[in-house]
Amino acid sequence: MRTFYASARRIGIILGGSLLLLTGVAMLVLPGPGAALIIAGLALLGTQFEWARRASGWLRDRVRATFTALRAKVQRSP
């Protein structure tokens, strides 16, 4: 019975993360919070897959670098 619940949980995480990821990609061209859903989907899939964990870390680093550069540009302009 324990293996059934573990398998069901894993399938639920994979389906939920995939749905969030695909919806986020669609919302990049449709109105909505696409980037946030992509990050959430990768974070959820990252609990099960190493590739998603690495992609989530890479994306998080890129977002931080972008905000840091934007903040520096705003502070320089009068």
Give pLDDT tens digits for 28-66: 999 988 888 998 999 999 999 999 999 988 988 998 999
pTM of the model: 0.74
Q: What are phi and psi of 40, to 5 degrees?
A: -65, -40
Question: What is the pLDDT at residue 1?
Answer: 84
| Confidence band, pLDDT 50/70/90 cuts, at residue 78 | low
CA atoms of 42 and 51, how far apart (whole Å): 9
Q: Which residues of 34-57 are buried (b: 16+ CB within 10 A; e: fewer)?
A: beebbbbbbbbbbeeeeebeebbe
pLDDT for 77 beyond 70: no
Question: What is the pLDDT at residue 25?
Answer: 92
